[in-house]
Amino acid sequence: MIGLLGGIGAGKSTVAQCFAQLGCAVIDADALAKSMLHEPAIKEQLVARWGPIILDAQGQVDRAAVGKIVFASTLERVFLEGLIHPPVLAERARLKQVYQGNPQVVAIVDDTPLLLEKELHRDCNVLIFVDAPLVTRQQRVMNKRGWSVDELNKRQSAQIALDKKAQLADYCVDNSADQAHCLEQVRRVLSQILTTNRLPKSC
């Protein structure tokens, strides 16, 4: 299984999409966590703790509202993780088994936030660091998530340092340009993984 590492806004999801185009199966833990927020039992516990302020106009859990709460308080973040992580990890394990049994799957790609922080990288055979300049990452989170630079810095500082992640990775993909550039790098790295499983980092 191939694990993706990188800073917030580096474009790990874009890299995962490139792998998918090349016949890989992607486990998107962020999407799994998002779906868990709509599970009635979990939604009920969140509203009981934080009130209806976390619901949007349709009565669904607003991820942005939840994010503001949990990133402002370690206690609340631990509470949320205690609710979300067990079912997400169970589904992640189930999907891994399903994909391993499918001969058409070239490789499994694990796009799980906090892969190192939660020691989930131990399930991976290969780690890839997705790199992008700070200014690029800042622009991406401002455009896609509406975050300020301070918000990005605050959330990034809660994770393992990027240089540490880069050191632990087996490969590096530069995702500072367009998707075509990214796809070509992913194609090359995947070929290396499938043939030798270990080659020097490229960035």
The pLDDT-based confidence of 113 (bands split at 50, 70, 90) is confident
CATH of domain 2-195: 3.40.50.300
| DSSP codes, 10-27 | S-HHHHHHHHHHTT-EEE
Predicted TM-score of the model (pTM): 0.87
Q: Please compute the mean of the pLDDT values over residues 81-105 and round it to a whole number.
A: 94
For the chain, the domains span: 2-195
Q: Which residues of 17-36 are buried (b: 16+ CB within 10 A; e: fewer)?
A: bbbbeeebbbbbbeebbeeb
What is the spatial order of strands in the sheet that 126-131 belongs to? 25-28, 108-111, 2-6, 126-131, 171-174
Expressed in percent and rounded to 5, the helix, strand and coil fractions of the chain are: 55, 10, 30
In angstroms, the CA 200 to CA 135 distance is 26
Q: What is the pLDDT of residues 46-61, one digit of tens each?
A: 999 999 999 999 999 9
Q: What is the pLDDT of residues 140-158, one digit of tens each?
A: 999 988 888 888 888 888 7
